[in-house]
Amino acid sequence: MKILAIGPHPDDIEIGCGGALLIARDKKYDISLLVMSQGQAGGDFEKRIKEQEKVAKTLKAKLTWGGLIDTRVELNRELIQILEREINKVNPDIIFAPYSNDTHQDHRNISTAVVTAARFHKNVLFYEVPSSIDFQPTVYVNITPVISRKFGLLRTHASQVHKTKVPGLSILKNAEANAIFRGVQNRVKYAEGFMPLRLELAKFK
């Protein structure tokens, strides 16, 4: 099983689908991460690069950088081609990508481009982050067994832990609250929720 997770900035993937990726790692699936920018607008980008590299090592994942500039990701042919090249290279069974309805323009544009770039792939799931708007998941992954390890992934992004723009709220507390809420919806303790562009039901194969 091959998985490609696409993130606009360092830490988006871990917030949105870090638990699912940890489960995939335990199953020895082949994991690839495509991070489209180095998070230049979020602080010391060299530090953010090292943080993302450490996460990739923890997940035993291949890490590729998209080479775009944080906050300046435009919806154009170049963006689609970057995504297509990585999708064609990895040939993933499952693609995780950011959701389109988001207050951050990078997330919106990358999500829209994924719809085109992944048009021939059967399993494409959009994940949520704190800036997502009206996210209504219909697919869930029970991350209860790996929740503490997901927090570990988030702690690796030490430069971002307290950058929530909400006094006293860390990304760890944010992630825990969201995992509890999605868990209630999925009748488990902790879950991650996803909205599918397409999803093939394996039990009907």
Mind listing the pLDDT tens digit for each residue in 129-141? 999 999 999 999 9
The conformation of residue 53, written as its DSSP 8-state character, comes to H
The conformation of residue 147, written as its DSSP 8-state character, comes to H
C-alpha angle 13-182-21 in degrees, rounded to nearest 5: 30
CATH number for domain 2-198, candidates 3.40.50.10320, 3.40.50.300, 3.40.309.10, 3.90.1170.40: 3.40.50.10320
- Domain ranges (residues) in the chain: 2-198
Is-contact 3 30, C-beta < 8 A?
yes
The strand pair at 191-198 and 2-7 is best described as: unpaired
The tokens describing 198, both together, are 């397409």
**Collapsed DSSP state (helix, strand, coil) of residue 112:** helix
Most confident of 15-24, 45-54, 165-174: 15-24
C-alpha angle 119-124-129 in degrees, rounded to nearest 5: 125
Provide the pLDDT confidence category of residue 167 given band limits of 50, 70 and 90.
Answer: confident
Is-contact 11 49, C-beta < 8 A?
no
Give mean pLDDT, residues 151-174.
85
- pLDDT digit string (tens) for 25-57? 999 999 999 999 987 776 777 888 999 999 999
Structure pTM? 0.94
The tokens describing 163, both together, are 């950058």
The conformation of residue 100, written as its DSSP 8-state character, comes to S
